[in-house]
Amino acid sequence: MATFWDIFHLLTETPIFFVAIIGLTWGIMGGALPGISASITMALVLPFTYAMDPAQAIALLACVYIGAEYGGSIPAILIRTPGTNSSAATVIDGYEMNRQGRAGEALGISLMSGVVGSLFGLAMLILLTEPLSWLALAFTPASYFGLGILGLSVIASMSGGSLIKGLCAATVGLMISTVGTDPISGVTRFTFDVPDLIGGIEPVLVMVGLFALTELMSQSGSVGMARLNASIRIKLPSWQMMNKLKRSQFIGCILGLFEGLTPGGGGSIAAFMSYNEARRWSKTPQLFGKGSEEGVAAPETANNTVASTAMIPLLSFGIPSSNSTAVLLGGLLMHGLIPGPRLFEQSAQVIDSIYVGSFIAIIAQIGVGIVILPACIWLVNRPRHYRAGFIFALILSGIYTLNNSLFDLGIALGLGVVGFFMRLARFPVLPMILGVVLGHMVESSYRRSLVLSGGDLRVFLEDPIAVALLSLALIFIVFSLAREIRDARKAKLKEAHS
């Protein structure tokens, strides 16, 4: 562990401060652009790190990652377009707050919740890397299956009052996830000899289509949300508000810690599960989906926690739990650094730089956010006829960036039409997104488990992690169903009385 003098040396004799600020700013910019994921943002800066000192280079990449995870929430709140996969859950209440003229408040909550989550994640990274890293190795395909099912269990409470419609949407999402190459045999499915479909349909296309394009279509011709005189001030949450948010932030921290440790978990599952649990434990669950502050705080805390805790399995064993940590692994290897216990002994300065750089970036996030967010609010409050074109062009440019493919643009536009019809028919889109995000993990881990066990289904009952996760999923489903039934009865009674 770094001593005070090590940190003092880092701060005074290396450019770590500037590296952290540059990395953070670049990360926020990349994360805020739809289609530019955290991993792409990191990959874009990777070549520039080649000539840098290894410690500074890795710290830069870590800071870009932190910035990108936070930056994804900006378009999610302002234009209903999640900048990264993990900010999809922020759309629900963040955008609703924006519609109510509370964009500054929503961005303030997301900013501070991000800082809380990142600081918690960093503390866990520093203090618990060794004791917690065993979990990464304990994960078997059966555990992954349990994790996927746990993620899918959220569907029951994200169905917007109609479980059948939610399940239909989730099934269609799972169907979309089957497009591409079969994870076990390698044969292609539903690709119709189109090369662009061999790799499957990226979840971000589905999110952009269902959230952003549907919203743009729905608002077409309306005056929309042009509020030329609207305040562009960022409203950071007061102590009173932070006190109100502490429960949802705590949930976000715990689930973010758990998901960051589990390879393949990622910020998306953590964010959706935190949203779901924050609603379950909230004193005002009825406000969720209608502009709840807790609905912004929980997913933002979770996905920012993941940005730090995902480095635990990476630094301990070289296991990248997401695309972003895979890029970070690439950075480490490029500089001749082999992740593992020996990294902590032989390259202590690299580890110290990650810790110190991340800390600087997290604290600087508040300042950078206060500077750039008012400009973002000002932009989205311009008259609709100009704003719509700029947002549409931004989204299409971002999608093209994913694979340099016009086909991807067509897919996203098609999904925009699907989303519009779903909106008309009152089908919830979140279950469909969850299906797309988790489908591949659920199918591949289920089938891998059976291959390894020779087709014996008991494999799911013999793995303690899988049993724990599946039991949790069952509890979540039962609770959600009970709540659905209770709400339906209440509505019936209310109807009878009126």
Partner 1 sequence: MNKDILSGVVLLAIAGIYYTWSTRIADSTLSDEIGADGLPKMLAILLGVLAVCLIGRTVLAMGLRAAAATATKAETEEEEDDNAPLPRALGFLAFGAAYVFLLPFVGYIVATALLIGTIAIYEGAPRRSWIVLAAAIGGGLFYWAIFVKLLGVNQPMGSIFQGLF
Q: Which is nearer to partner 1, 57 or 450 (CB)?
A: 450
| Out of 11, 18, 137, 182, the residue judged to bind partner 1 by CB under 8 A | 182
Give min distance, CB of 174 to partner 1, in A: 6
Q: Which is nearer to partner 1, 187 or 228 (CB)?
A: 187
Q: Which is nearer to partner 1, 275 or 427 (CB)?
A: 427
CA atoms of 439 and 441, how far apart (whole Å): 6
Q: Which is nearer to partner 1, 336 or 455 (CB)?
A: 455
Q: Which is nearer to partner 1, 138 or 417 (CB)?
A: 417
**Contact between residue 303 and residue 271 where contact means Cβ atoms under 8 Å apart:** yes
**Contact between residue 85 and residue 277 where contact means Cβ atoms under 8 Å apart:** no
CA atoms of 306 and 310, how far apart (whole Å): 5
Q: CB under 8 Å to 244, separation ≥6 — which residues?
A: 293, 294
Residue 400 lies near partner 1 (rule: CB under 8 A): yes
Give min distance, CB of 329 to partner 1, in A: 22
| Out of 60, 92, 210, 213, the residue judged to bind partner 1 by CB under 8 A | 213
Q: Which is nearer to partner 1, 426 or 489 (CB)?
A: 426
What are the two backbone dihedrals, phi and then psi, of residue 255, each rounded to the nearest 5 degrees?
A: -70, -35
What string of DSSP letters covers 339-360? PSHHHHHHTHHHHHHHHHHHHH
Q: Report the site for partner 1 in 40-99 (rule: CB under 8 A).
A: 44
The alpha carbon dihedral of 55, 115, 250, 469 has a sign of negative
> Could you report how far apart the first and last alpha carbons of the chain are, in Å?
66
| Out of 216, 311, 328, 470, the residue judged to bind partner 1 by CB under 8 A | 216
What are the two backbone dihedrals, phi and then psi, of residue 399, each rounded to the nearest 5 degrees?
A: -65, -40
Return the amino acid letter for 212. A
Residue 496 lies near partner 1 (rule: CB under 8 A): no
The alpha carbon dihedral of 280, 286, 289, 291 has a sign of negative
Interface with partner 1 (CB under 8 A), residue total 62
Give min distance, CB of 93 to partner 1, in A: 18
CA atoms of 343 and 337, how far apart (whole Å): 7
Q: Which is nearer to partner 1, 162 or 231 (CB)?
A: 162
Residue 403 lies near partner 1 (rule: CB under 8 A): no
Kindly report the length of the chain: 498
**Contact between residue 35 and residue 395 where contact means Cβ atoms under 8 Å apart:** yes
Give min distance, CB of 66 to partner 1, in A: 19
Q: Report the site for partner 1 in 448-487 (rule: CB under 8 A).
A: 450-451, 455
Separate counts of helices (H) and strands (E) for the chain: 24, 2
Residue 190 lies near partner 1 (rule: CB under 8 A): yes
Residue 375 lies near partner 1 (rule: CB under 8 A): no
| Out of 51, 187, 375, 496, the residue judged to bind partner 1 by CB under 8 A | 187
CA atoms of 118 and 310, how far apart (whole Å): 11
CA atoms of 43 and 106, how far apart (whole Å): 29
| Out of 11, 389, 464, 486, the residue judged to bind partner 1 by CB under 8 A | 389
**How many CB atoms are closer than 10 A to CB 495?**
8
Q: Show the tokens assigned to 381.
A: 């409050």
Q: Which is nearer to partner 1, 167 or 236 (CB)?
A: 167
Q: Which is nearer to partner 1, 231 or 397 (CB)?
A: 397
Interface ranges with partner 1 (CB under 8 A): 30, 33, 36, 44, 164-165, 167-168, 171-172, 174-175, 178, 182, 184-190, 213, 216-222, 383-386, 388-390, 392-394, 396-397, 400-401, 404, 406, 409-410, 413, 416-417, 420, 423-427, 443, 446-447, 450-451, 455
